Structure 1
Amino acid sequence: GCYEDFVFQSCFLKRHSSPELREAYSRDEWTPWTSGVVERKGTSSSVGVNPATGSGTSPPAVQQGGGAASVYSNVPYVPPTADIRMQDGKPIGYPNPLEPPRGVYLGVSPQEVNGTADLQRYLTAFGGFVPVNYNIFVHIPILDYQLRYLDQFLAQVAGLGGVATVTVEPFDGLDLVTPSTIAPIVERCAFFERMRASCIIRFAHEMNGGWYPWSRQPTKYVEKFRLVSDAVRRGTKRGAVMWSPNSAARDYPFAAPSDLAGNPEFARLDTNRDGIVNNRDDPFGPYWPGDSYVDWVGLSVYHFGVEYPFGEDNEAAPRDSFLLRVAPRTLGEAAADIPFDFYETYAVGKSKPLGIGETGALFMPSKQRSGTPSELEVKRSWWQQFVNGGPGGTPLSTLLPQLKLITWFDIVKFESEVNSVVDWRISGSPQISVPFQKEMLTSPASRGFMLDLNAYHGLFPSSCIDLDTPVGLVSSDAANAAVTPYHSMPLSGGGASALPSSV
């Protein structure tokens, strides 16, 4: 980890820090914050320098006391002789940004409380199995308080060296998605990737449903998705874009066919041209923006219950219900009536990594009563499908090798569909989090399949990027801003944003 820390901190000190830190860098030596390696400018030595003695090698032990001047390491200084080779702004050798060559990232959507989310709690929530990915929801145009929340959120992800999924929601309509309204979000991703946070932009998710202002508008959706994708590519070095509809099996189009009769895009939605939109029509194809605009394909996949209408009782998930919604052809005759296989068409057919952008099993505390499944039984019935979910207990790692991310909706919220408060969390209590950790994350069946933050750092040991080439959307004000280095920011608790309002 020494080399990449050295590179991004050197760049920060030279170009993006406060005037005081830039002046400190101009002196003879400086101390990177993470590795403790000291560079003495003007020397050709390739070893560390002990600031106390001035000698060319550091003593055998790392010393932490006495302030920054006494922090040093026995790790030799590595000169920046080579950078990661880049092509079209992406690291060569990774077909899709941030895709692990093997395994599946664990992700969570944390609860927002008073404009902040505490990611530090996930350091211990699952027995030390720390998630890689953290999902945040923001509007576009982004609201002022959400700018502060996004700054604080990305600072925490940077502190962990993880990946943020920024779910961008056009609640004011697709017409307001413009280069100027996406710019503040992309600029923040560009800024914090200098400090080892990475961003996946998940734009206008679940567009094939009927519950959002951006739903069922395939022509305009495709236009705006391409706009956002172009902005991410111009404005970041390793940012990625996720296309993420809602899963659909036998329940598409999630409404009575008559509800779509007046839709001006009825002809595009009626993909088999039989004069009606029903579950024989393609729930995904009308919204596909094109292979070159998509890095990840994603799905929202929830267990709401066994049969619609949902919400009468808490119900355990039937076996294979996850595969039924994601990869029905793996089930053979049991799913022969489902004509559209998302995994086969988009993950395999388009050679894209699949991310489950949201998932969870519905549990309503107010409906808990004798004779119905407990909270653990409901949630366990869902997470076990990710480990031993295939026919005959085949692991998903074998059935779905393109599956690369599972993000759990770790939130309590009111759900209008069931007219009740739903506890989707897997970290809400030890009664749930401990079995989740043991069965989903560290069981023999999942070992090597589920990846935590340590595994992510091992797969991507160098997060260096060519920071001497400015990214397209970051303003000059951002590049010269006086900021608080991310390692000094609190991991929780909100507070003033470190970024200037101009970013």
Structure 2
Amino acid sequence: MPSLLPLVLLALLSTALAQNTRSASRTSTSTNPTSTAPVPAAATAVNEPADGSIYFGLWVDTSVTSGDSPLNANARLGRNISWFQFSQNIPVDEYNDVTGVGGIINGTKVTETNTDAGIYVTVYPLQGLGGFTQQDMAALGVQLQSYVTAGHAVFLRFAPEMNGNWFPYATQPTMFVATWKTLYTTIKQSCPTCGMVWSPNAAIGYPYGIALDTVALAADQAALDTNGDGQLDLNDDAYSPYYPGDDYVDWNGVSYYYKGNYPNDYNVIQPPGFFEGSMTGVLPEVDEIGQTQTQYTPFYNNYCMANPCMLSESGASWKVNQTGIPSWLTVSPTQEQVEGAWWRDGITNATFLSMYPRLKMIMNFEWEKVESDGNVPTLRDFRLTNATDVLAAFVADFEAVAQRYVWANYVPPPPSGSGGGGGAQIPVPQPQVSVHRATPYRATVPTSLSLFFSSAQGWAELRPYALGLTALVAGVLAGVSLVL
């Protein structure tokens, strides 16, 4: 008799996992935001829209000091934006309830829009690739699945711009690939419908001043020197050393910005075709500064065929406090001229969109922030929906291509007193005042037993499952006894 118990438990666990996977699949299929173009029944990638259509998303500054929100962004644009991006660290920082900094993202910022907009989570391992555990990965997966359960598709972008030198996890291709594969497998166990986004920095400017002999490990030096000439320069592949393979990636993306002419401290209109450089790797010629056309590693042909691709974060910067204006720039352009040149070159450019149909998402960085190049701090505004004249021009130009873009669907809010908000029947996790790195974040009322149990979950939560399982096993054993 005792030998039957492991078999019974294994069968029960398999059934629970199968039910949970089927439920997650149904949720992802029914909540994918597709109001203007239907998603095919068998999409080739997680969250992929139909051919000929594209997502437009915003990374909105929801900080306490900014006070912006997805709800406000929708109101400004006059449309239900399909994806909103947020960021958090791994392991999760402690949340400060005064400044609003740290903790996990506040998913209710999306649910309060009363739409099925997707939740795009960028995760930074700022303690390095060895600074977190597989349990931290598992907790992240359960957190993300809670958003799917609440009716929102999910993207996860891990350790972006790893091919640069401005993050502590950068220029470590061998460890990055190994970590990515472990993360991908772990996340998919909890959140099978989460779209994993691999996202380096765009190749233009590579290797960004990185010298090969400054890379710590010999294995990484060998990986980065893709043409074997003993040096790291623009002739080396900016992407391939960090690529974990098509089987471990759902979408490929790049960060791509127009910030002007180095040190990027004054306003100047971008050259035509600059936006296309995100796909081709071509830096256009600019006579005024003596910039010749330069070919860097192309992205589209190499990384947008097997998987759909995106601009993971992008935008053109308007320098609020410009300095260093050159003598040849006799008239400074306006903010609408600088940012308008950007969106007309790509976001609202029908020719560009048709030339690159595998580009299926453009995420704009809707922030104003201080950045410093060459030790010159500059306040830069990347927002398209803030200044009245910029917003009006953007909305007007968008109308010509709006039918190409996928917009979020309206979701009626739940009845009063039913809990949740913004159409979410199950409340999504909130930032917490005290965060324990091993605690899995999930819906307030769990729908299945977590496989990633820790003492932080507590007996109160597990008690109903334990009692139910005990009763079921007892019944099975009693039935077997009668048969015998």
TM-score above 0.5: yes
Alignment counterpart, residue 123 of structure 1, candidates 70, 74, 78: 74
Which of 372, 375, 385 is residue 345 of structure 2 equivalent to? 385
- Superposition map of 1:392-403 within 5 A: 395-403=351-359
Q: 1:339 to 1:212 in 2, by over 3 A?
A: closer
Q: Tell me whether 203-212 or 394-403 shows the greater mean CA deviation.
A: 394-403
Which residue identity does 1:96 align to in structure 2? A
Q: Is the 8 A contact 1:411 1:424 kept in 2?
A: yes
Write out per-residue CA displacement over residues 374-430 of structure 1, whole angstroms, 9 at most, x where no aligned residue. 1111100111111565xxxx6122100001110100001111225211111112122
Task: Please tell me whether residue 414 in structure 1 is matched to residue 361 in structure 2.
Answer: no
- The C-alpha deviation readout for 1:178-198, integer Å capped at 9, x for no partner, is 221123322121112112111
Partner SS, residue 174 of structure 2:
helix
Distance in structure 2 (CA, Å) of the matches to 1:376 and 1:435:
8
- Residue type matched to 2:57 in 1? G
Written as runs of structure 1 = structure 2, the 5 A alignment for 1:48-447 is: 93-102=42-51, 103-114=53-64, 118-126=69-77, 128-145=78-95, 150-153=105-108, 156=111, 159-249=114-204, 251-257=205-211, 260=214, 264=218, 265-305=220-260, 307=261, 309-328=262-281, 338=295, 340-348=297-305, 351-367=306-322, 371-387=331-347, 395-417=351-373, 418-439=376-397, 441-443=398-400, 446-447=401-402
Q: 1:496 and 1:256 mapped to 2: Cα distance?
A: 39
Report deviation, 1:263. Answer: 5.2
* CA distance in structure 2 between the aligned counterparts of 1:330 and 1:396, rounded to whole angstroms: 16
- Contact 1:326–1:342 (Cα < 8 Å) also in 2: yes
Which amino acid in the other structure matches residue 209 of structure 2?
A
**Cα deviation 1:470-502 (Å, max 9, x = unaligned):** xxxxxxxxxxxxx9423488x9xx897996585
| Residue identity opposite 1:108 in structure 2 | L
The verdict on how the C-alpha distance between 1:175 and 1:330 changes in structure 2, with shifts beyond 3 A counting, is: closer
The Cα offsets for residues 112-132 of structure 1, whole Å up to 9 and x where unpaired, read as 322975221022111x22211
- Aligned partners of 2:283 and 2:294 also within 8 Å: no
The 5 A counterparts of 1:4-43 are none
Aligned residue in 2 for 1:450? 405
CA gap of 1:325–1:304, structure 2 versus 1, over 3 A, is: same
228 and 135 in structure 1: CA distance in 2 versus 1, 3 angstrom threshold:
same
Residue type of the alignment partner of 1:99: E
Going from structure 1 to structure 2, the CA distance change for 1:388 and 1:106 (only over 3 Å counts) comes to closer
Provide TM-score, normalisation by structure 2: 0.70
**Where do 5+ consecutive residues of structure 1 fail to align?**
1-14, 16-82, 459-482
Change (3 A) 1:343 1:412: same
CA distance in structure 2 between the aligned counterparts of 1:167 and 1:312, rounded to whole angstroms: 28
CA distance in 2, matches of 1:164, 1:367: 34
Measured at CA, do residues 195 and 136 of structure 1 come closer, stay the same or move farther in structure 2, by a change above 3 Å? same
412-421 or 271-280, which deviates more: 412-421
**Aligned residue identity for 1:375:** Q
- After superposition, what is the alpha-carbon deviation per residue over 1:417-476, rounded to whole angstroms, capped at 9, x for unaligned? 25211111112122111211111x212xx142222224xx89xxxxxxxxxxxxxxxxxx
Q: Distance in 1 between matches of 2:312 and 2:135?
A: 26
Query: Aligned to 2:130, what secondary structure does the other structure show?
Result: helix
Change (3 A) 1:111 1:86: closer
CA distance in 2, matches of 1:95, 1:142: 32
* Whole-Å separation in 2 of the counterparts to 1:235 and 1:291: 20
Change (3 A) 1:258 1:284: closer
CA deviation digits over 1:186-216, x for unaligned, max 9? 2121112112111100000000111111111
Alpha-carbon distance in 2 for matches of 1:338, 1:157: 45
Contact 2:112-2:421 at 8 Å conserved across structures = no
Distance 2:336 2:356 in 1: 26
From the superposition, tell whether residues 148 and 281 of structure 1 become closer, same or farther in structure 2 (CA, over 3 Å).
Answer: closer
Kept in 1: contact 2:88–2:104 (CA 8 A): no
Greater mean alpha carbon deviation, residues 372-381 or residues 417-426: 417-426
Paired amino acid for 1:415: E
Distance 1:262 1:223 in 2: 17
TM-score (norm 1): 0.68
Q: 1:75 matched to which residue of 2?
A: none
Q: Measure how far apart 1:339 and its partner are.
A: 5.3
Identical-residue share of aligned pairs (%):
23
* Conserved 8 A contact 2:162-2:171: yes
CA contact (8 A) 1:157 1:164 kept: no
Alignment partners' CA distance in 2, 1:211 and 1:420: 18
The answer to whether the 8 Å contact 1:329/1:335 transfers is no
Q: Secondary structure at the match of 1:125?
A: helix
Tell me the SS of whatever aligns to 2:143: helix
Distance 1:149 1:339 in 2: 36
- 2:466 corresponds to: none
Q: 3-state DSSP class of the match of 1:299?
A: strand
Instruction: Answer whether contact 1:151 1:499 (CA < 8 A) is retained.
Output: no
Q: Which residue of 1 aligns with 2:13?
A: none
C-alpha spacing 1:256/1:213, structure 2 compared with 1 (3 Å): closer
Distance 2:201 2:154 in 1: 21
Q: Distance in 2 between matches of 1:273 and 1:256?
A: 16
Query: Kindly tell me: are residues 261 and 326 of structure 1, through their superposed partners in 2, closer, same or farther at Cα, counting changes over 3 Å?
Result: same
**Residues 60 and 68 in structure 2, CA contact (< 8 A), matched pair in contact too:** yes
**Change over 3 Å in CA distance of 1:152–1:450 after alignment to 2:** closer
Q: Against the structure 1 CA distance between its residues 263 and 376, is the aligned structure 2 distance closer, same or farther, given a 3 Å change threshold?
A: farther
Instruction: Please state how far the C-alpha of 1:154 moved relative to its aligned partner.
Output: 6.2
Instruction: Give aligned pairs, total.
Output: 380
